[in-house]
Amino acid sequence: MLRRSKVVLQKLLRLGFNRPQQAWRLQSSLVNEKACQYQPGQKIHGFTVQEVVGVPDLFITAVKLTHDKTGAQYLHAARDDSNNLFSVQFRTTPLDNTGVPHILEHTVLCGSERYPCRDPFFKMLDRSLSTFMNAFTANDYTMYPFSTQNGKDFQNLLSVYLDAVFFPILREQDFCQEGWRLEHENPTDLNSPLMFKGVVFNEMKGAFSDNERVYAQHLQNKLYPEHTYSVVAGGEPLAIPDLAWEQLKEFHATHYHPSNARFFTYGDLPLEQHLQQIQEEALSKFDRVNTNTEVPAQSHWSSPREAHVTCSPDALAPDPARQHRLCVSYLLGDITDTFEGFTLNLLSSLMISGPNSPFYKALIEPKMGSDYSSVVGYDGSTREASFSVGLQGMAEEDAEKVKQIISRTIDDIVENGFQEERIDALLHEIEIGMKHQSANFGLSLASYIASSWNHGGDPVELLQINDSVDKFREALKENPRFLQDKVKHYFKENPHRLTLSMSPDEGYLEKQAEAEKEKLHKKINALSESDKKEIYEKGLQLLAAQSCPPDASSLPSLKVSDIAPTAPITPLQIGAAGGVPVQYCEQPTNGLVYFRAFCSLNTLPEDVKLYVPLFCNVITKMGSSAQDFKQQAQQMERRTGGMSVSTRVVCDSTHLDMYEQGVLLFSSCLERNLPHMFRLWSDIFNSPHFKDEERMRALVKMSAQELANGISHSGHMYAMTRAGRHLTPAAELHEAFDGMEQVKFMKSIAETSDLSRVVRLLPRIKKHLLNPANMRCAINATPQNMSDTSVQLESFMKEVAVNSKVRRPVRTNVIERPIRTDNSSMSRKLVLDENFKPCQMKTIFQLPFPVNFVSEAIRTVPPSHEHHASLRILGRMMTSKFLHGEIREKGGAYGGGARMSDGLFCFYSYRDPTPGQTLSVFRRGVDWAKSGQFSQQDIDEAKLSVFSSVDSPVSPANKGVVGFLTGVTDEMQQDYRERLFAASHSSLVEVAERYLGAGQRTCGVAILGPGSETILKDPSWIIK
């Protein structure tokens, strides 16, 4: 997977995962005590301990080691957390655009000496209870991480990963499948035309259909015109066919060596066990070498440079006439200087983040563009960091003005500096981030330290964030102009800066297609008759290999008996505050309080429903009668960990035509700031300020731009949402709130010159939504903080209840159901749409992408139905045993599969060059399932994969939240768990026949992308 990463504090401090299990035990633990006993100089299984450092703020003991024989570096972060993580990363520094590190990342996972089966990586997804498995190609390193809560599973995955990266087979056939190949459109038809195929080839065509990605890539290549950053690490589509198999093998030999490796482990499993396995299975077989992969420093320019590039027009841009982008990017210092990087990161936030920042005031408020440029702020993903600032969605004639504004704003900062309150707010954000416990904390750490460690930085020093905070405070105390001096040095007086502009070219896509056609013709014209014959024969051989059932017997696997028979129970208490029901969940939240409130939409008139996502987006950003939006934003930064409002549509667990609709309020704060947090919510409830039309216009443009930008990398989600639109009432509303309908709606609002209707409607929505009569709340906090939190919540509820009144539901069929069977004081108000008639519809959104996103959704059964669990197992099994091979390996799409979602069985594909063929694959997948051509081993593997999701870790902040939002109790989850265990061969065949067969199903189909000639000529498709 290609990754564009930025090493920013948010990687560590703000990376939250909402998925579920263990409560964090933050007291001193045996795990840390054991790690503290290691001594520098101690020899352990071929490694020597270099350093042992306690990081109490993160509840970690860091142990740094070096492998004696190879020089491999190793960092272990011991923490009382059962979600253990391993990663190994290699510095990978390509010098051309062929995408060799990216294709190698794919190919090493296709079979190794010890595990020679095809595609062991994807097969281990079904033989493991991993909470995370992936691989990333970044600018200058490739990382292979996994995490799991099962000790045996950790050993299994570690064995597979070590063998994959150090002893891959690197078959030519796998290189052709994953990278690129010349092959007949129909591999069995010698007369069909030759074309480029390959997973990475199509992935990168999709990546470069994203204008944000195109801009970011050009910016990096031109700011760092020397060495590895001047090329496309992931591969430029037209350069990928220049890569030869021999070059791939050579790159592996020179880069994937222990002397060029950095190992990281995290969690509560014993370090010695990891070291012994790594030594015995991999490192003992190597000697130290000089890998020569270092990235030299970029030569600094003596004068600034400018450049211009073009891109594809965006059909969904908020303003089609304003699609110009411009930003100024500055080369900064070496990222291995931890404190300098910390300082520049903070400085970046002070300069651009929030409405009180100088660049927001100078660039965003005048509404010269729709939002900041897609590359903005501090970027530490290269050896020398950079800072970028500019605009997108602007008029080309404003380019000079924007450049002058950027220069003038730099001068103003040097002259006036920053308000002390803003610096305090940022340090408060760091404090909150360090206290927040995310469920996949190990992955956050691995990601956070990767770039600096890759270039010789000290990963332990990176973890000691409080030391950097103290040093920062001291620097400010000694020199009040500390930050201004940095701005003067790195920005005002820095000649190594690039101004890059980008504008749409109506012929861009045609030029790209023509260039690919020319490349193809050049390749074909160079072929002899024997070459063509060989291509045909290799195509048939690859197809035969892809069609042959793989032998995965060499791979290790857990058993279904390794899955815990029961899920842990989360203790909850139900109370009330000001007459509003409240769920209290006592958790070790490290002094943070997490507040949620669900507000029903049942009384809201139907004609304003489409405006609800906009309402959610702006309600916390418009200010109130007590504070304007800048003052409000400052208070949120100083007193909370963030405040948000979002739409929620939840299909009922018992009935497909019943659902709950509402918005979810969420915020967090340190316990000492509870009164301030609830005061902010009170101001938002009682006196939001909607009348500032200029502020509203800026937020509308930013929202519309963000939605338009998101389609190219989340197209499969939009396709699935659209495909389900006409199948259930909940799916219909989901499309209105989160689908293409909302994207187009926001585009139309952004294009409207008069926002007075919007300004009039939002207070009307507020009266219906922010109403205690339609609310329920949830609090997650420590037992010590719960009493005070309850008092503060009571006070808040009484304050906002003054201006509320009971309103009638718009729908007559509202059914009230208690969330807990043992307590009826908290309930969900569900809408039953008895008149809903599901219907079939096929829709294609023609968008300027070179690849497609395809989905077919089928109406099935709700989660409490006896067959739902079998359908979920079936979806996972179809993905791994049939769809993956057909859609990705044969079809060349980046990904594809099937899954159950709210009573809909959804097929999907991602960055897919052959949409018509994929729709046929979906249908053949159903035939495969109905035929029962799968084994008990296949079923067991699907169960392991499903349970890895069901039992994934839940952070203290999110304990009890699923039940609060969905009404699914621990008892209901246990019943469902037992149905998953009970799924059998006969039940899977039965559900395939009953719900997925052509005669039984009601389905919807959606495609985002260019489609195909056959589809576009088919009158049964609606073309948007």
- The catalytic residue positions are 105
Phi, psi of 169 (to 5 degrees): -80, -35
Nearest to 722 by CA among 843, 849, 606, 613: 843
- For the chain, the residue count is 1024
- Contact by Cβ (8 Å): 437, 954: no
Rounded CA-CA distance 216/379 in Å is 11
| Helix H or strand E segment including 216 | helix 211-223
Rounded CA-CA distance 304/493 in Å is 11
CA torsion, points 91, 97, 101, 103, in degrees to nearest 10? 170
Rounded CA-CA distance 861/453 in Å is 50
Counts of helices then strands in the chain (DSSP H, E): 35, 31
Q: What burial letters (b/e) apply to 618-646, b meaning 16+ CB within 10 Å?
A: bbbbbbbeebebbebbbbbbbbbbebebe
List 666's β-bridge partners, or say none.
Answer: 596, 644
Rounded CA-CA distance 943/127 in Å is 9
Rounded CA-CA distance 494/300 in Å is 9
H helical segments located in 640-782 = 674-686, 693-723, 729-738, 740-750, 756-769
Rounded CA-CA distance 410/347 in Å is 12
Rounded CA-CA distance 855/118 in Å is 27
SS (H, E, C) 895-913: EEEEEEECCEEEEEEEEEC
Rounded CA-CA distance 924/863 in Å is 26
Q: At 133, which amino acid appears?
A: M
Burial tier of 199 (Cβ tally within 10 Å: 0-12, 13-18, 19+): buried
Which two three-digit tokens encode residue 738? 């989160």
- Contact by Cβ (8 Å): 349, 303: no
Nearest to 584 by CA among 788, 796, 797, 435: 788
Cβ neighbours for 145, distance < 8 A, ≥ 6 positions apart: 85, 86, 87, 132, 133, 134, 135, 136, 443, 446
Q: Is beta strand 73-78 parallel, antiparallel or unpaired with respect to 60-67? A: antiparallel
Burial tier of 578 (Cβ tally within 10 Å: 0-12, 13-18, 19+): middle
- Contact by Cβ (8 Å): 190, 184: yes
Rounded CA-CA distance 58/26 in Å is 9
Share of the chain residues as helix, strand and coil, in percent rounded to the nearest 5: 45, 20, 35
Q: Is beta strand 895-901 parallel, antiparallel or unpaired with respect to 775-781? A: unpaired
CA torsion, points 474, 477, 483, 489, in degrees to nearest 10? -80
Cβ neighbours for 880, distance < 8 A, ≥ 6 positions apart: 122, 123, 125, 126, 941, 942, 945
CA torsion, points 231, 233, 235, 239, in degrees to nearest 10? 30
Which two three-digit tokens encode residue 465? 């964030």
